Copies of this chain bind each other. A is one copy, B any other.
Amino acid sequence: MTPPTVKLSTLKTACKNCKLHQLCLPLGLENNDMDQLDNIIKRAKPYQKGEYLFQHGDNFDALYAVRSGSVKTFSQDDNGDEQITGFYLAGEMMGLDAVHEGFHPCSALALETTSVCKIPFTHLEELSAKLPSLQHQLLRIMSKEITEDQALLILLGQKSAEERVAAYLVNMADRMEKRGFSSVEFNLSMSRKDIGNYLGLTIETISRTFSHLQQDGLINSQRKHIEILNTEKLRAIAGLPKISCGLKSTG
């Protein structure tokens, strides 16, 4: 049998076939609701490392969900000071901050070859009005973004360099695990400089802290490649409960 000619339409990755749909916008949707969502989503060719998905000031017309690869978003103030506001992995949504003013207040740059789903926002709003669980999930995702920004605020406002770096590594490990990768051995797609900027530290401090954690036998870091040797101690430094500890106060 000769293989049929390849049609892009058939290769399209539908939400219901996408391994990410438990992490992404379609969470909680019925199958045929997912089809409706599929119909408005655009899947374009991948971005190469260093390409912008959108830039600060661009008109806002769509949300972006990472399908594979990774992206950093960063905002700039009027002095040109740059602050990375997030690193986005598969299943995570970008552009939520642009709804308010109708243009993107931050820029998004691919950290490696990255493919995305582009979700035109007016269509999404229309569809959300028809599908309660889609509306709910959209609100949940926005809420999650707020929660995560606030977690970062605690890091930047209250924590030492070592605590920030530990929290960062634990966070990355957890997210890797959610995506089916190893939580104790992975590659960081972002540079030390990016990590430093994200955590409010300099590149030198990041480097020294990595070295220090390595000397203490908590991690093994070879440039981008990270091995976590002692998850429990790392979580402790990060100020997070040990996984099995039920002693935290619930107010």
Contacts and interface: CB of A to CB of B under 8 A. Distances in A.
Interface stretch (A110-118, A137-145, A168-176): A137-145
Given A100-B144, A135-B128, A143-B100, A81 B149 contact: no
Interface in A86-144: 96-101, 105-107, 125-126, 128-130, 132, 135-136, 138-144
Contacts of A126: 132
A7 to B, nearest CB: 32
B250 A77 contact: no
A240 interface: yes
A140 B98 CA distance: 9
B154 A157 contact: no
Given A81-B239, A100-B144, A144-B100, A153 B156 contact: yes
B75 A150 contact: yes
A184 to B, nearest CB: 22
Given A128-B135, A142-B142, A156-B200, A150 B97 contact: yes
Nearest to A147: B97
Interface string A217-251: 00000000000000000000001110000101111
A142 B153 contact: no
24 contacts: A58-B251, A75-B151, A75-B153, A78-B240, A81-B159, A83-B150, A83-B158, A97-B150, A99-B140, A100-B146, A100-B147, A106-B150, A125-B132, A125-B135, A126-B132, A128-B129, A128-B135, A129-B129, A138-B139, A142-B142, A142-B146, A145-B146, A146-B146, A152-B153
